[in-house]
Amino acid sequence: MAKKRVTLRKKHTIITSAKQKPRMKKIFFALLALIIVTVGLAGASIFLNKTDLWTSILSLTQEEPEENKVKTSENYESYLAKGDLLFENGYYTLAINEYASAAQEKPEAAEPYNLIGNTYLELRNYEKSLSNFQISLEKSSENINAVIGMAKSYFHLSQFDTARNFLDSSNLAENPEVKYYLAMLYAYEGEYDRSKETFTKVTEETDITSELAANSQKFLDSYTTYDAQLGGQESHLRTLIAEACTKVSQDELAITILYQVLSQTPTYRDAWILLGYAYLNLEKYEDSASAFEEAIELDTTKPETNYFLALAYLGQDRYEEAITYLELALVYGFEPQVQVYQKLAETYFLIPDYELATRNYEKVLDLNDTDVNYFVRPIWLNMEKLGNIDKALELAKWALSSHPDEAMSYNLMGWAMISAQDYEEARTYLEDALSMDDDLAAAYLNLGTIDEIEGDLESAKENYKQAYTLDQNDSVGALAAEKYNNLLNQ
């Protein structure tokens, strides 16, 4: 996790800090992060203010001299509360420290070790998650959270035989979630009838979460698909089960099953594709690319293989190769096309080739202009990187015509007008935006920019301050804080 960075320039300086978000589990979310940009700030670094977070944490306990401290249940609950707050905000290492302090307050308590175990699961440190759940279970043998946590850890460590022995010996084997994990293990070991029966029982339980039932149904659907194809080979059934595993984020189990399939049928194209996909989910990009390359050798024309191979190359920063296979995915008919053009635009942006990035962003708009925020990156590229103000204005007008009832459209138009140095017209559009949505931080930021250009520094500071207040935890607020601080130093 990135260290907290704080700007403290003057007494009334706005404070910002940087926080690295937790690593995401799937490349799709990682790539999505590249396209979610805040209006007027695409390309700006994202800084997240944590003043309110730390204020909340500090308010949970009052510091006292060490000699005055008494260990109480209130201290214990306070440590847990602080740990929960840190966990929710992605500060996993700090959260672990708080949970460890709670464990010291109540050495007999199992809960802190469950929380530490869950935090290590988020960090993908499965050895440590397992050891903490084991400690929790030692402290409370009826602790279902520890049992499930250990099962999850064993699965992520690919210790499936150990997981089976552990769950079989558990005195909580009638718990629906325990049954769910056992049903997957039955399928893994080829006990298909028992697996189906157990998944069915899970879906029939009344005290389970809808997600657990839905996940169980994915496996039952795999069995139904196989049963409909009379005389199917077992390798096909196991591949269908592996596919269900990828759908429920059990990628390690999917990989193990698929290697079993491929050891028997090395030319099974779909098994190679699923293997690549499972590795992609685990962000193991080299292994993913290797699997997709095997699939390409077997069938060069399947559009999905070309598309996912491109994603695996993107994960390795192999941009030119990614572009090649994205273009092949289009040639072979990948749908939806907008998804490919979006990835092409992102890739050209990273190279960087801003001209081609802009062209592909515009293709995205040609296919889907239903979200006004899709206009942000191409407008910004034309203004800031290509110097094509006319094109930026054209795109802003397009946004306004396709989204005439959204305040953001007027903000985009005002933003583009600032680049065209038509400040009077820009101000009109920005004020129209605020008349539609007086909480639109980007409009205040852009108004502050006009005020600063025109020399009205007090008004500029007020607008920057308002933008920051409305958007402390995103890039608009970060840039507003930076501009505000710069004015204070003048």
> What distance, in Å, lies between the first and last C-alpha atoms of the chain?
34
- Does residue 96 belong to any structural domain of this protein? yes
What pLDDT digit, counting tens, does each position of 381-431 carry?
Answer: 999 999 999 999 999 999 999 999 999 999 999 999 999 999 999 999 999
Residue whose structure tokens are 């605020």: 434
What pLDDT digit, counting tens, does each position of 232-274 carry?
Answer: 899 999 999 999 999 999 999 999 999 999 999 999 999 999 9
Q: Quick one: 453 and 375 in the same domain?
A: yes
Instruction: Kindly give the interhelix angle for 111-122 and 144-156, rounded to the nearest 10 degrees.
Output: 20
Please report the pLDDT score of residue 208 as a whole number: 64
Q: Is the pLDDT confidence value at 62 over 70? A: no
Q: Quick one: 90 and 179 in the same domain?
A: no
119: domain CATH number? 1.25.40.10
Of 13, 16, 66, 61, the C-alpha closest to 479 is 16
Q: Quick one: 14 and 82 in the same domain?
A: no
**Cα atoms found within 13 Å of the Cα of residue 246, Cβ hemisphere only:** 22
- Does residue 341 belong to any structural domain of this protein? no
Of 328, 359, 322, the C-alpha closest to 343 is 322
- Which is more confident, 205 or 357? 357
Q: Quick one: 367 and 466 in the same domain?
A: yes
Q: Which of 156, 180, 196 is the last residue of a domain?
A: 156
Please report the pLDDT score of residue 201 as a whole number: 94
- Does residue 435 belong to any structural domain of this protein? yes
Mean pLDDT of the chain: 87
Share of the chain above pLDDT 70, in %: 84
Q: Quick one: 88 and 194 in the same domain?
A: no
Q: Which of 265, 297, 326 is the last residue of a domain?
A: 265
Please report the pLDDT score of residue 376 as a whole number: 94
Q: Quick one: 450 and 476 in the same domain?
A: yes
* Domain membership of residue 228 as a residue range: 158-265
In whole angstroms, give the CA distance from residue 332 to residue 314: 20
Q: Quick one: 382 and 480 in the same domain?
A: yes
Q: Band of the pLDDT at 70, cuts 50, 70, 90?
A: very low
Of 335, 341, 406, 413, the C-alpha closest to 371 is 406
Q: Is the pLDDT confidence value at 137 over 70? A: yes
Q: Which of 265, 283, 318 is the last residue of a domain?
A: 265
- Does residue 302 belong to any structural domain of this protein? no
For 246-277, letters b (16+ CB in 10 Å) and e give bebbbbbbbbbbbebbbeeeeebbbbbbbbbb
Q: Band of the pLDDT at 75, cuts 50, 70, 90?
A: very high
What pLDDT digit, counting tens, does each position of 116-135 carry?
Answer: 999 999 999 999 999 999 99
Q: Band of the pLDDT at 472, cuts 50, 70, 90?
A: confident
- Does residue 333 belong to any structural domain of this protein? no
Please report the pLDDT score of residue 174 as a whole number: 87
Please report the pLDDT score of residue 74 as a whole number: 76
Indicate the number of domains in the chain: 3
Joined tokens for residue 207: 């005290």
Amino acid at 6: V
In whole angstroms, give the CA distance from residue 105 to residue 103: 5
Of 366, 364, 362, the C-alpha closest to 392 is 362
262 contacts 271 by C-beta, under 8 angstroms: yes
Please report the pLDDT score of residue 449 as a whole number: 97
**CA 221 to chain centroid:** 27
Q: Quick one: 111 and 180 in the same domain?
A: no
Weakest-pLDDT range from 129-133, 234-238, 290-294, 470-474 = 470-474
What pLDDT digit, counting tens, does each position of 148-184 carry?
Answer: 999 999 999 999 999 999 999 988 888 999 999 999 9
Q: Is the pLDDT confidence value at 289 over 50? A: yes
Please report the pLDDT score of residue 50 as a whole number: 43
- Does residue 284 belong to any structural domain of this protein? no
Q: Quick one: 110 and 219 in the same domain?
A: no
Please report the pLDDT score of residue 473 as a whole number: 75
Of 360, 312, 308, the C-alpha closest to 329 is 308
Of 315, 257, 326, 314, the C-alpha closest to 282 is 315
Q: Quick one: 36 and 86 in the same domain?
A: no
- Does residue 35 belong to any structural domain of this protein? yes
- Does residue 436 belong to any structural domain of this protein? yes
Q: Quick one: 177 and 151 in the same domain?
A: no
Q: Is the pLDDT confidence value at 43 over 50? A: no
Please report the pLDDT score of residue 207 as a whole number: 64
Interval 342-362 mean pLDDT:
97
Burial class (CB in 10 A: 0-12, 13-18, 19+), 349: buried
Q: Quick one: 373 and 418 in the same domain?
A: yes
